[in-house]
Amino acid sequence: MHYQLIQRKIFVSITWSLYVFYKSQPHAIYGLSDYWRFITPTAVEPIANILMRLSQDEEEFANMVLSVVHQIPYSRSGLKYPVETLLENNGDCGALSILAASLMAAGGLDVALIYYELPNASHMAVGVSLAKTPTRLKANFKPRGYLCNGKRYWVAECTGSGWHVGEERDDLKGAPVKLIPINRFGEAPAKVAASLDDPPMQSSISLNVPPQAIQINGSIFTFTVLGRIAPAVIADVVLYMSRDASSWALLGKARTNISGIYNLSCRLSAPGIYYIVAGWSGCNGLSGSDSPTLIILTGPRPLIQFQGPLFNYTFLRWGLSEWELQAARGMDTYILLDMMYTGIMIDAEFMILRGEQPPLDYETLENLQMIRLPEDFDMQVRDQLALILNVHNKSVSLKGLSIHDIKTLPAEVKIHNLTHLIAIGRPYRLTIEEHLPLDDLEGMAIFGLYGPALESTITLDGAVHVILLASIRNSLMVLRAPSFSRTPTPTMQVETHHQENPLSTPPIWPAIIAFSATFLAAWIIKRKRSKKTRYKIKAAHNCYHLARITLRNSCALTCC
């Protein structure tokens, strides 16, 4: 018999959108029956598929899964989803067990969670049901398993290293145990991408909203997003949406055609700011990727309002008058950016779209409550969309201002009214930049994409500038592919890697993790069936070692 060491590497790419989706999911546990939400085999299926191809039977596959999980450093992290554990490269017994259970379930194994109740703490491991009793144990161990619903689940220890299926730690033997069967799995909108030995090739995905694909009906804003994956591939595209650029939810899914093009119709009904990003998982040797973040601003909900001789009336839903009245005044701040950096560049295309006043009929009035508004209500509605550049505190904000706000601005504030120059339904481009080494905002320009600048570059000479863009009482502002870039000073270099920016473009490259696996492969030259030969074959199956995750720092920088 001849043995040779073969080193194999599994490269795993995780998109930013999939990672922040799971970061946004609830992480609280109110009982043992809640753990199933964290078991997401679909998300890690590509890794499990590679391990299954490298293994000869289900026990060997389960041991390979443990080898992958054992290389992740232990940390008191609390419960995490498998995607989080992979990308953050740390986890406690609960997080590591959830990752291992998800990988084993992705390979078709029946799994459970084993909950040990210790005097001073608790511990968690995985229970895996196999067709046969585990045989690839170290010499001083006997296979240990627990019965649940007529099945025996063998212990799979996920912390430490070197553990095989069926081996139980000495300090856990005899401890009270609760077995948590996993009968259903948590949500997985997309998958990680995985490749064996060679890193995946780079891909990209675009996202935009053509002006002709936008429809407005009252307070309902319907639009169609279009995009393309390059290189072209037929694949699923997942769209995520956020209201604050930190908590993300699933917006919808689309399928590309043979040219890699996809489209999806979306609806928004509440005023405010929406962040939308498209991502795909990767396949056929291509890494997954994310689109730039699309930012959509919708104005306040139109008012059903009548003006009397001395005052105004508005009709609102019964029982919600105060809340509705406040909402009808419109949002205050949409975006606020801290620009305490040098080398600033903001670049965005925008368009103002006109809404429609909803028809007023008897059926509508029947469900509404008439409210008398204060005489100055029209002055309180924040219906003037303004871009405010404060050079004193180095900030840029996009706000809704009322007429009262504008009339009471301090005398030193410079107002630039562009509302009469910006046409409805025409695209414009906004640029703001700061040049080194002046450490001061240099200027701003707004110009039509098919015409000259609306106003020559505004020199920002140390004052506060208010640029009025549009009246949004009954209209919308849409931003297309805005970008916000900055060059940090040397003292801020480390911190900027971890600072989140709602306008920053998600990286085209996803986080890539490389699992380096060393396997002991056996070629049988002679077919002699001696006990010694059988022992060596058995030992060969047990010799799995996975090195620690490489590119750890690169992953952290990529996803931040």
Q: Are residues 221 and 141 in the same domain?
A: no
- Do 104 and 232 lie in one domain? The reply is no
For the chain, state the CA radius of gyration.
29
Q: Are 353 and 478 in contact (CB under 8 A)?
A: yes
In whole angstroms, give the CA distance from residue 523 to residue 539.
Answer: 13
Asked whether residue 325 falls in the same domain as residue 407, the answer is yes
Indicate the residue among 262, 297, 332 that finishes a domain: 297
329 closest CA partner among 401, 257, 279: 401
CA distance 485 to 501: 10
Q: Which residues have C-beta within 8 Å of that of residue 530, sequence separation ≥ 6?
A: none
522-557 confidence digits (pLDDT tens) = 222 222 333 332 222 222 222 222 222 322 222 222
Residues paired with 128 in a beta bridge:
111, 154
**Residue ranges making up the domain that contains 122:** 2-194+509-559
Same structural domain, 141 and 207: no
DSSP state, residue 321: H
pTM of the model: 0.71
Q: What is the pLDDT along the chain (560 residues), one digit of tens a residue?
A: 344 445 688 889 999 999 999 999 999 988 888 999 999 999 999 999 999 999 999 999 999 999 999 999 999 988 999 999 999 999 999 999 999 999 999 999 999 999 998 888 889 999 999 999 999 988 888 999 999 888 999 999 999 988 999 999 988 988 999 999 999 999 999 999 998 888 888 999 998 877 666 676 666 778 888 999 999 999 999 999 988 778 899 999 999 999 999 999 988 777 677 888 999 999 888 999 998 888 777 766 555 666 665 566 776 666 656 666 776 777 777 777 766 544 556 777 788 877 655 555 545 555 666 777 777 777 888 888 888 888 777 777 888 898 899 999 988 888 888 888 888 878 888 777 655 433 444 566 676 665 555 655 566 666 788 988 888 776 777 776 566 554 433 222 222 222 333 333 333 335 565 554 433 332 222 223 333 322 222 222 222 222 223 222 222 222 22
**Are residues 45 and 171 located together in one domain of the fold?**
yes
| Pair 275, 179 in one domain | no
Where among 297, 329, 360 does a domain terminate?
A: 297
Boundary (domain end) residue, out of 297, 322, 346: 297
**Structural domain count of the chain:** 3
Based on the fold, state whether residues 211 and 342 are members of the same structural domain: no
Query: Does 302 reside within a domain?
Result: no
Longest CA span, the chain? 107
Token pair belonging to 376:
């100055």
Please provide the DSSP assignment of 42-63 as one string: GGGHHHHHHHHHH-SSHHHHHH
| pLDDT (0 to 100) of residue 304 | 61
Residue 251 domain flag: yes
Of 381, 247, 212, 227, residue with least CA distance to 312: 381
- Is the domain of 286 the same as that of 395? no
Phi, psi of 421 (to 5 degrees): -100, -20
Structural domain includes residue 85: yes
The pLDDT of residue 112 is: 95
Of 126, 46, 55, which is closest to residue 83 (Cα–Cα)? Answer: 46
Residue type at 214 in one-letter notation: I
Q: Which residue has the tokens 């920016």?
A: 501
Q: 25 and 170 share a domain?
A: yes
Q: Please report the pLDDT score of residue 9 as a whole number.
A: 85
Task: Please check whether residue 497 lies inside any domain of the structure.
Answer: no
Indicate whether 344 belongs to any domain: yes
**Residues paired with residue 228 on neighbouring β-strands, in sequence order:** 261
Spatial contact of 480 and 294, defined as CB atoms under 8 Å apart: yes
User: Element (H or E) spanning 417, and its range?
Assistant: strand 414-417
Q: Could you tell me if 385 and 288 lie in one domain?
A: no
Q: Answer yes or no: do 31 and 161 share one domain.
A: yes
CATH, residue 264: 2.60.40.730
Counting DSSP H helices and E strands in the chain, the numbers are: 12, 31
Indicate whether 496 belongs to any domain.
no
